[in-house]
Chains A and B, each alone.
Chain A
Amino acid sequence: MAINPDAESPESLAERLRLTLAVSGAAGAWEWNLSTNLISGDARFASMYNISAAQAVAGIAPATFVSIIHPHDQTRIRLAIGGVLRGAEVFSKEFRVNLADGSLRWLHARGRREAADSTHFNGVLVDVTEQKKVEERLRVAQTAGEVGTFEYIDGFGTATVSDQFCRLLGLHPATDLPVRSINALVHPDDTPIILGERNSGSMSEGRVEFRITRPDTQEVRWLTRKGEYVSDSDSKARRYSGVIYDITHSKLIEKKLLLLNETLEERVRERTLERDDIWRLSRDLLGIADARGVWTSVSPAWTRTLGWQQSELEGRTSHWLEDPAEKSHIEEMFTKTAFLHRLRTKDGSYRSLSWTIVPKEGLFYCVARDVTEELENARSLVEAEEQLRQSHKMEAIGQLTGGIAHDFNNLLTGITASLSLIQRRLKSGKLEDLDNFINAATTSARRAAALTHSMLAFSRRQSLDIKGQQINEILVGFEDMLRRSVSENIKLTMSLSADVWPALTDANQLANAILNLVINSRDALADGGEISVETFNVSLDANAAKSFKGMHAGDYVRICVSDTGSGMPAEVIGKAFDPFFTTKPIGQGTGLGLSMIYGFAKQCGGHVDIQSMVGRGTEVSLYLPRAALSEKIPATPAAASPVSRGRTETVLVVEDDPTVRLIITEVLDELGYKAIVAGDAHGALPHLKSNQPIHLLVTDVGLPQINGRELAEMARVYRPSLKVLFITGYTEKATIREDFLSPGMDLLTKPFELDALGAKIRELIDGDR
């Protein structure tokens, strides 16, 4: 480069050159004279060192050459200079310099010795700042973006590569690499990174993904290559400019996602399997039915429980499995969520199933549990309880039998002993005082009759003659007997309200009940005390009635028997009305007392209430409903009334027991009636059909073949106004006589007093007079 120092001042020239060169980036020339050890240069060189062109031509010392070099690069350049001074032939270094204007530039100094013995080192100095910046940007971009670049010209054996390219492949950094070395890293199944060597084809300009095995770590990585062919102006060969980058992470995520998807399916499958297991293994019968109750699907438990195959069950309702005798439950599926029904098994037996139905989206999801065993267990429990009760009953009957035997033996002893004595007296002709024995026998027989009556009352099979009665009159007529039944150390008080209403009851049974209560009180007063019998009216409103089970609001006559005795604990009161319950030892009581009274009170439409405290005495109240009729009713005489005599009326007697028949005939004859007798209905009917006058039919109810009730109906066909008197030991159907007896009929219970028979006959025959 020619320099003309005369054209203008060196300063302005240098400045101009500097500016020109700064923008042109042109190279400066330099020469190193090793013999003088001076480095001279051209204008560009001068401008860099801020010296005049003349100075530059004259040369500067290496120390000055080094002085503007950036401190970081100085050592390196000084070492290189040392190399040159000691024989190195090539100098090629890049370094930074701080220029006089304060700017930092990158320079590339390149030079070489002309010959080994030459003392001159010629070179150029190029400003590579922009190139460096671009390179730096590219390097940063490659490093930061982890993008490696490469260039490949078709047919060549090597490719030009960047450091980052090498790093991505796990290779030692290099500027050129053999294509075979590069492709050798790629997985055999994948596309090679570079194609084109030895006509191996062209590279795609799109994205290509491939795996490599890094030679440094043996790690497998996923990379992507992308690039394009560029036609170089100076060559016909195609140049491929490409980039590679790592996509292992994305691939990993992709794989994880795939795996997640797969495991999701797996999990869903597992869950489905679990549900399938429930469906398959459940002991309960599971099923899905459509809106008509047709099974669309049933679980294997159906087959296990009922024996029918799935194919037999699906596609229809289970109506065909229902017991024809029972109501169909198919309807219940639509209306109920839970019910019980039975389905037939293949062997013809039935299983009881407890159903739970959940309707959803037009389908019925059904679960049935086989409760056959549970139900059978419950049934056998009931049976066992029944058996237990039965055994208690047998035990009680044992107690009762003991009690009855004791009572009856006493009574029979009284009767047989009296009869023996009468017989002996008659034989010996001693007829005085016979009445005493006869009375004793009669009393015993009556007591026996009362005892059987009690038993019937207990069994509620006694026929009660319930009608309006004057309670006070019954009690007064009974007072003597009560007083006799208590001992001297007991004071019995009767406090009867004068205005007590008439009440519905059976006079004999009421007397019996009160006697029983008094005797119970007497037994509780072993050391003496007081017993009081009271009557008064009570009106129970609905609330008060509620406190007595099964009692209605209304007016009642209350008969109260209380004592100052030992009383009863609560648990004894609870059982006091149980049949056969007794606190007395076996043989001393039947335990029928209170339960009999309870049954009697209930039959009358009343109630019994018991209040007791240990050591404070007991109070038993008998509530009898007030009778509708208000007029005074004469009490049924407890004692025998004068015997009514017949007036030759004709009475037809039908009785299968010859003894009873004989006695009745004797009585009728004695009373002046004309008696016709028959052993059964067949014997009686001809008489009834005949024209002979018959004023009264006296018939046993319990006749063979045609019973007394039927006979009476037949008799009424021929003789509509015929009076009928039934005689019965007990009659199941005649518990309440009003249900049994038509007008003009009456009932007499065995055993009966002859006088009572006479009175009834008279009463009936005279009835319509």
Chain B
Amino acid sequence: MTNRSVDEITDDRKLSDIERDALTEIANIGVSRAASSLRKMVDRQVLLSVPSVEVVTHQSAADLIGQRETDDLVAVTQAFSGAFDGRALLIFPQKNGIELTRAVLGADVSPDQISSMVEEALAETGNVILNGCVGTMANMLNQPLSMSLPTIKRGTGQELFTVQCSPPEQGLVLFFFINFAVEGRDIRGYIAMLMDVPSLAALKVLIGEFIARVMHDDLGNTGLTPAE
């Protein structure tokens, strides 16, 4: 996938194809854990997957969402710090957010109840997903990471990305596209990890280590040799 915004980013901050593939798999592990947690929490079938990852500027991230979503957005946001610092956002179109809440809460909850519970449910759901995702990433990369409590933000993509980070021109966004499948409903959403350049560089190093482990350890650990 070619992305102009990625092209604009200088080489040392750009992810290679392998790095992006690896990060996608790490994110997939993360959202899988989150899905597992959600399933336990709501006792419903929940599937989460990450088809692709981009590293883009704040503006590009805002554009990306702005082009795909014309409705106002709702985001669950949590700050994280550790080997890499930043802020994570789980973003849905507002309508999808309510739908997700409804799916998570179950059809037996009345609309009145839902509207009063939306914020809380969203924050909780978001917390599970972001924790699963970001926490797993730290785990996979063998790094400790702590996260703040979730807060809810509403607004356009532009507003979400410019408010969240400063100085925005130096920060980059790790942008995950997420597919939710809850009770047969498909809901799209996004995870954005706003990080500064040093944090991204640190992440790159960690990703490299992950790749090396997978490529050299996994098949070896199985005790099998490649086929002839």
Residues of A within 8 A of B (CB): 37, 49, 60-64, 66-68, 75-76, 78-83, 85-90, 92, 112-113, 116, 171-174, 176-178, 180-181, 184, 215-216
Min distance, Cβ B17 to any Cβ of chain A, angstroms: 8
Q: A62-B219, A78-B219, A216-B4 are in contact. Are A87 and B25 (CB under 8 A)?
A: no
User: Is there contact, CB below 8 Å, between A86 and B29?
Assistant: yes
What chain A residues lie within 8 Å of B211 (beta carbons)?
Answer: 79
What residues of chain A lie closer than 8 Å to B5, measured between beta carbons? 172
Question: What B residues does A215 contact at CB under 8 A?
Answer: 63, 67
Do A60 and B222 have beta carbons less than 8 Å apart? no
- CB distance B224 to A61 under 8 Å? yes
Contacts of B228 in A (CB 8 A): 67
- Chain B residues in 8 Å Cβ range of A67: 226-228
B-chain residues with CB within 8 Å of residue A79 when the two chains form the complex:
18, 21-22, 25, 211, 214-215
- Taking a contact as CB atoms under 8 Å apart, the answer to whether A78 and B218 are in contact is yes
A216 to B7, CA, bound (A): 13
**Min C-beta distance of B37 to chain A, whole Å:** 9
**Chain A, Cβ-Cβ closest to B215:** A78
For A49, A64, A86, A113, which residue has the most chain B Cβ atoms within 10 angstroms? A86
Q: List 24 A-B contacts (CB under 8 A).
A: A37-B222, A49-B227, A60-B227, A62-B218, A63-B226, A76-B17, A76-B21, A78-B214, A80-B25, A81-B214, A82-B210, A88-B25, A89-B28, A89-B47, A90-B32, A90-B47, A172-B3, A172-B4, A172-B60, A172-B63, A180-B70, A181-B69, A215-B67, A216-B4
Which residues in B have their C-beta under 8 angstroms from that of A81?
214, 218
Across the A-B interface, give the 6 residue pairs with the lowest CB-CB distance, nearest first: A61-B224, A83-B25, A82-B214, A67-B227, A116-B36, A64-B227
Interfacial chain B residues near A61, Cβ < 8 Å: 219, 222, 224-225, 227
Min CB distance, A165 to chain B, in Å?
Answer: 12
Smallest Cβ distance from A320 to chain B, in angstroms? Answer: 84
Nearest opposing residue in chain A for B65, CB measure: A172
Q: Is the CB of A88 within 8 A of B28?
A: yes
Q: How far is the CB of A659 from chain B (nearest CB, A)?
A: 137
Contacts of B21 in A (CB 8 A): 75-76, 79-80
Q: Which of A62, A63, A178, A216 interacts with B70 by CB under 8 Å?
A: A178
Main secondary structure of the interface of B (DSSP, over half): helix
- A92 with B49, Cβ < 8 A, contacts A64-B224, A83-B25 known: yes
CA A75 to CA B211, docked complex, whole Å? 9
Known contacts A61-B222, A78-B214; is-contact A87 B33 (Cβ 8 Å): yes
Instruction: Give the distance to chain B from A697, nearest Cβ to Cβ, in Å.
Output: 137
Give min CB distance, B43 to chain A, whole Å.
13
Residues of B within 8 A of A83 (CB): 25-26, 28-29
Interface: B107 (CB within 8 A): no
Q: Quick one: given A60-B227, A64-B227, A178-B68, are A85 and B26 in contact (CB under 8 Å)? A: no
Please, what's the 1-or-0 string for B189-215, where 1 marks a CB less than 8 Å from any CB in chain A?
000000000000000000000110111
Q: Report the nearest B residue to A184, measured CB to CB.
A: B70
Given A60-B227, A75-B21, A79-B211, the answer on whether A172 and B64 have CB atoms closer than 8 Å is yes
Instruction: Say if the beta carbon of B1 comes within 8 Å of chain A.
Output: yes
Return A682 CB to nearest CB of chain B, in Å: 135
Q: Which residues of A contact B227 (CB under 8 A)?
A: 49, 60-61, 63-64, 67-68
A88 nearest CB across to chain B (Å): 4
Partner of B29 from the list A62, A87, A177 (CB cut-off 8 Å) is A87
Residue A116 contacts which of B39, B60, B64 (CB distance < 8 angstroms)? B39
- The number of residue pairs between A and B whose CB atoms lie closer than 8 Å in the complex comes to 120
> Shortest CB–CB separation between residue A68 and chain B, in angstroms?
7
- Identity of the chain B residue whose Cβ is nearest the Cβ of A65 in the assembled complex: B227
Tell me the bound Cα distance from A86 to B139 in angstroms: 11
A174 to B227, CA, bound (A): 38
Q: How far is the CA of A116 from the CA of B34 in the complex (A)?
A: 10
Complex CA–CA separation, A658 to B33 (angstroms): 170
CB distance from B77 to the nearest CB of A (A): 22
Q: Which of A81, A90, A180 has the most CB of B within 10 A?
A: A90
Give bound CA distance, A63 to B228, whole Å.
Answer: 10
Tell which of A68, A75, A87, A177 touches B136, judged by Cβ atoms closer than 8 Å. A87
A116, closest chain B residue (CB): B36
Inter-chain CA distance A61–B228, complex, in Å, is 12
Q: Is the CB of B225 within 8 A of A174?
A: no
Check B25–A174 contact: CB distance below 8 A.
Answer: no
Q: Which residue of B lies closest to A112 (CB)?
A: B47
User: In the bound complex, how far is the Cα of B218 from the Cα of A63, in angstroms?
Assistant: 9
Q: How far is the CB of A167 from chain B (nearest CB, A)?
A: 9
Interface range on chain B (Cβ under 8 Å from partner): 35 or more
- Closest-by-CB residue of B relative to A85 is B218
Question: Which B residues from 93 to 120 make CB contacts under 8 A with A?
Answer: none
Kindly list chain B residues whose C-beta atoms are within 8 Å of the C-beta of A216.
4, 63
Check: B10 CB closer than 8 A to any chain A CB.
no
Chain A CB within 10 Å, residue with most, of B3, B22, B228: B22
Quote the shortest CB–CB distance from B167 to chain A (angstroms): 23
C-alpha spacing A88/B33, complex, angstroms: 8
Q: How far is the CA of A85 from the CA of B29 in the complex (A)?
A: 9
Contact of B224 among A62, A90, A177 (CB under 8 A): A62
Q: Measured between alpha carbons, how far is A424 from B99 in the docked complex, in Å?
A: 175
- Residues from chain B with Cβ under 8 Å of A116 in the complex: 32-33, 35-36, 39
Within residues 56 to 87 of chain B, which ones have a CB less than 8 A from any CB in chain A?
60, 63-64, 66-70
Most buried by A among B4, B33, B218: B218
Contact of B226 among A66, A86, A178 (CB under 8 A): A66
Assess whether B36 is in contact with A89, with CB atoms less than 8 Å apart: yes
With CB as the reference atom, state the residue of chain A lying closest to B52: A173
Contact of B35 among A63, A86, A89, A172 (CB under 8 A): A89
Name the one of A49, A63, A88, A172 contacting B225, with C-beta atoms under 8 angstroms: A63
Instruction: Report A432 CB to chain B, min CB distance, Å.
Output: 154
Q: In the assembled complex, which residues on chain A have CB atoms less than 8 Å from the CB atom of B29?
A: 83, 86-88
The complex places the Cα of A62 from the Cα of B220 at a distance, in Å, of 10
Option from B22, B28, B68, B214 in Cβ contact (under 8 Å) with A177: B68
Closest to A178 in B: B70
Residues of B within 8 A of A89 (CB): 28, 32, 35-36, 47-49
Contacts of B18 in A (CB 8 A): 75-76, 79
Task: Known A-B contacts: A82-B25, A116-B39, A173-B3. Give 16 more (CB < 8 A).
Answer: A64-B227, A66-B226, A67-B227, A68-B227, A75-B21, A76-B17, A79-B25, A79-B211, A80-B25, A86-B140, A87-B29, A88-B25, A90-B48, A172-B64, A177-B68, A180-B70
Decide: B218 and A173 in contact? CB cutoff 8 A.
no
Contact A75 B2 (CB under 8 A): no
What are the residues of chain A within 8 A of B66 when measuring CB–CB? 181
Chain A residues contacting B219 (CB-CB under 8 Å) are 61-63, 66, 78
Contacts of B48 in A (CB 8 A): 89-90
**Which residue on chain B has the smallest CB distance to residue A185?**
B67
Contact among A63, A76, A86 with B222 in the assembled complex (CB-CB below 8 Å):
A63
Query: Which residue on B lies nearest to A171, using beta carbons?
Result: B67
**Least CB separation from B60: chain A residue:** A172
Q: B212 CB to closest chain A CB, in angstroms?
A: 11
**Shortest Cβ distance from B181 into A: residue:** A90
Residues of A within 8 A of B33 (CB): 87, 116
Hey, which chain A residues are within 8 Å of B17, CB to CB?
76
- How distant is the Cα of A181 from the Cα of B136 in the complex, in angstroms? 34
A718 CB, min distance to chain B CBs, angstroms: 139
Query: Are A87 and B68 in contact (CB-based, < 8 A)?
Result: no
- Residue B2 contacts which of A49, A68, A92, A173 (CB distance < 8 angstroms)? A173
Q: How far is the CB of B75 from chain A (nearest CB, A)?
A: 18
Contact A178 B1, beta carbon cutoff 8 Å: no
Asked if A82 and B68 make an inter-chain contact with CB atoms under 8 angstroms apart, the answer reads no
**Interface pair B224/A63, CB less than 8 Å apart:** yes
B70: which A residues are within 8 A, CB to CB? 178, 180-181, 184
- CB pair B67–A174 under 8 Å, yes or no, is yes
Expressed in whole angstroms, the Cα–Cα distance for A66 and B218 within the complex equals 12
Known interface pairs A63-B225, A172-B64, A177-B67; A87-B215 also in contact (CB < 8 Å): no
A90-B49 CB under 8 A given contacts A63-B219, A75-B21, A172-B67: yes
